[in-house]
């Protein structure tokens, strides 16, 4: 049994078509999604997509749920389901069911992004350039503060930088990030770095049990002379979040994964980050019948 849910967040930008999947009266899975004509995306307003379900479910259960989802979507004239996978290092347990289903259902892998990730439980090496930046910041007596006020970073650093460099706005408006942080106060945090009373740089992080993701990283034009970002990132990965497993810088891709911003990639890798990929799959809903005889 299916129920179309409604996702408040991003509701002004997307036509919500999220699904709740029930076995009789028991909720067994959720698919956050939005609809664009005859295509369903899970979800264009979220970093990752796919079915959300309990650790209690086994592969057979997931196969049956996914078959039911595709069958239902096909019945309401949605021809394609697009899912951007959850990178494996975010999952609490092994979680490659989607990749197997993509193989069986002959899904098209239409995009691959490259994430830059530090394994904080292993030895990682920062470049000499980053280390020099840290020394500069220490000599200038820069201070790092965890803030509950996001407006300083948004209005002073992030928005002006994006406007100047890319003529763009942050994916999250100030109101967006404040709303999200109010709902998830232990998972969304802001760290700024100051010289006296002047904010020089900041990083907005999203936390999970194992992973810290740097959602926004930005600094003013003094970052080379002051080492502000070098110092802030070094503090996050060697001290504040040293007990986490991974630090995720996110992607450096442009043009739907076809290109990589070389300078941005170098910056992330110079802290010791390595590449983990994230795939995007396109499923034809009519192919649900391919799952009829998979279980012997």
pLDDT in tens, 149-163: 999 999 999 999 999
Looking at the chain, the whole-number percentage of residues with pLDDT higher than 90 is 85
Q: How confident is the model at residue 5 (pLDDT cuts 50, 70, 90)?
A: very low
For the purposes of burial, counting CB atoms within 10 Å of the CB of 31, is it exposed (0-12), middle (13-18) or buried (19 or more)?
A: buried
Q: Are 38 and 78 in contact (CB under 8 A)?
A: yes
Q: What is the distance, to the nearest Å, from the Cα of residue 56 to the centroid of all Cα atoms in its chain? A: 24
Q: Kindly report the pTM of this predicted structure.
A: 0.91
Rounded mean pLDDT of 281-287?
98
Q: Share the mean pLDDT of the chain.
A: 93
Q: What angle do CA 49, 256, 52 make, to 5 degrees?
A: 5
CA–CA separation, 12 and 234 (whole Å): 37
pLDDT at position 9 = 55
Residue 88: phi, psi to the nearest 5? -55, -30
Summarize the confidence of residues 186-204 as an average pLDDT: 97
Residue 286 CB neighbour total at 10 angstroms:
13
At residue 8 the predicted structure's pLDDT band, cuts being 50, 70 and 90, is: low
């Amino acid at each position: 049994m299916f129920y179309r849910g409604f996702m408040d967040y991003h509701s002004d930008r997307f036509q919500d078509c999220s699904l709740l999947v029930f076995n009789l009266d028991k909720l067994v899975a959720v698919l956050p999604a939005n609809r664009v004509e005859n295509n369903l995306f899970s979800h264009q307003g979220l970093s990752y997509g796919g079915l959300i379900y309990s650790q209690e479910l086994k592969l057979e259960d997931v196969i049956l749920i996914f078959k039911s989802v595709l069958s239902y979507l096909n019945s309401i004239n949605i021809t394609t389901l697009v899912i951007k996978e959850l990178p494996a290092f975010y999952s609490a347990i092994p979680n490659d069911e989607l990749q197997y289903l993509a193989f069986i259902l002959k899904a098209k892998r239409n995009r691959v992004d490259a994430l830059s990730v530090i394994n904080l439980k292993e030895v990682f090496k920062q470049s000499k350039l980053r280390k020099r930046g840290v020394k500069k910041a220490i000599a200038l007596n820069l201070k790092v503060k965890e803030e509950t006020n996001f407006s300083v970073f948004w209005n002073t650093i992030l928005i002006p930088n994006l406007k100047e460099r890319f003529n763009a706005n942050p994916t999250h408006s100030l109101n967006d990030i404040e709303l999200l942080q109010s709902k998830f106060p232990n998972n969304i945090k802001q760290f700024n770095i100051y010289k006296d009373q002047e904010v020089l740089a900041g990083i907005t992080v999203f936390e999970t049990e194992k992973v810290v993701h740097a959602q926004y990283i930005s600094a003013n034009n003094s970052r080379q002379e002051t080492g502000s970002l070098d110092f802030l990132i070094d503090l996050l990965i060697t001290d504040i979040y040293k007990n986490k497993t991974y630090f995720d810088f996110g992607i450096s891709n442009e043009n739907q994964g076809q290109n990589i911003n070389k300078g941005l990639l170098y910056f992330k890798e110079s802290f010791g980050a390595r590449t983990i990929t994230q795939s995007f799959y396109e499923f034809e809903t009519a192919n649900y019948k391919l799952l009829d005889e998979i279980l012997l």
